[in-house]
Amino acid sequence: MVFCFYGRWMTVVEVDELAMSYRAPVRKGGLRAALGSLVRREYKTVQALDQVSFTIEPGEVVGFIGPNGAGKTTTVKWP
């Protein structure tokens, strides 16, 4: 099903290979590690989304389900 907008037929939402990663600090236990992280912080790269693709047609009702940390909110907030 497509949507006609000013003579153009289109889908309402189309996402193709959406990807996002971010840097998260690495936290180690202990007082010495906590003090050391104030001077030199270590980071790891977290892949939040990796090649997510979908199409939502007009009139479709959709829902995101999945475990915590699966990237549901990140997908919806993408600019």
Residues 70, 53: Cα–Cα separation, whole Å: 15
- CA dist., res. 76 & res. 11, Å (int): 17
Q: What is the pLDDT of residues 12-42, one digit of tens each?
A: 777 788 888 888 888 888 888 777 777 888 8
pLDDT tens digits, residue range 46-79?
Answer: 888 888 888 887 777 888 787 887 778 877 776 5
pLDDT reported for residue 70: 76
Q: What are phi and psi of 13, to 5 degrees?
A: -135, 130
Residue 1 has pLDDT above 50, yes or no: no
Q: Which two tokens stand for residue 59?
A: 């009139």
